[in-house]
Amino acid sequence: MRHPIFCVKWRRKAAATPLHASETRVKMADMKKRIPNQLILAVAILILGGGLVGGEYLLVRWYPGHHQRVSDETLAQRPYHNDALGIDIQIADGLYGNVEAFPGGVKIGRSKFWSVGPSLSITSQPNPDQTWEFSPEVLAKWESRGVNEDLPLYHLEHTKINNRDAMVIRELRGRYLHLTARIMCKDRIIEADCSPGGEDEALYMEACDEALRSIKVAGPEPPVPGVVELSPAPKVKAK
- Cα–Cα distance measured from residue 67 to residue 123, given in angstroms and rounded to the nearest whole number: 33
Q: Which amino acid is at 30?
A: D
Please name the residues in contact with 198: beta carbons below 8 A apart, sequence gap of 6 or more: 112, 115, 116, 117, 176
- What is the pLDDT, as a whole number, of residue 114? 76
Q: What is the spatial distance between Cα 84 and Cα 78, in angstroms, rounded to a whole number?
A: 19
Question: Exposure string (b/e) for 141-173, b if CB count within 10 Å is 16 or more?
Answer: ebbeebeeeeeeebebeeeebeebbbbbbbbee
Q: In 156-235, where does DSSP find H-type helix?
A: 201-212
Could you give the CA distance from residue 82 to residue 184 in angstroms, rounded to a whole number? 18
- The two beta strands, 87-92 and 98-102, are unpaired
Short-list 220, 117, 120, CA closest to 164 = 220
Q: What domains sit in the chain, N to C, each tagged with a CATH number?
A: 79-217 (3.40.1000.10)
Task: Give me the DSSP letters along 147-165.
Answer: HHTT-TT-EEEEEEETTEE
**Integer Cα distance of 30 and 22 in angstroms:** 12
Neighbours of 235 (CB within 10 A): 6
Strand partners, 184: 189
Name the residue among 172, 148, 150, 168 with its Cα closest to residue 160: 168
pLDDT of residue 85: 95
- Distance, in Å, from the CA atom of 37 to the CA atom of 238, rounded to the nearest integer, reads 116
Number of helices followed by number of strands (H, E) in the chain: 6, 10
Q: What is the pLDDT, as a whole number, of residue 144?
A: 93
State how far the Cα of 62 lies from the Cα of 45, in Å rounded to an integer: 24
pLDDT in tens, the chain (239 residues): 555 554 545 455 544 455 455 555 555 555 555 556 666 666 667 777 666 555 555 555 655 666 678 788 888 999 999 999 999 999 999 999 899 999 999 999 988 777 789 999 999 999 988 999 999 999 999 999 988 998 889 999 999 999 999 999 999 998 999 999 999 999 999 999 999 998 889 999 999 999 999 999 998 888 876 555 555 556 655 55
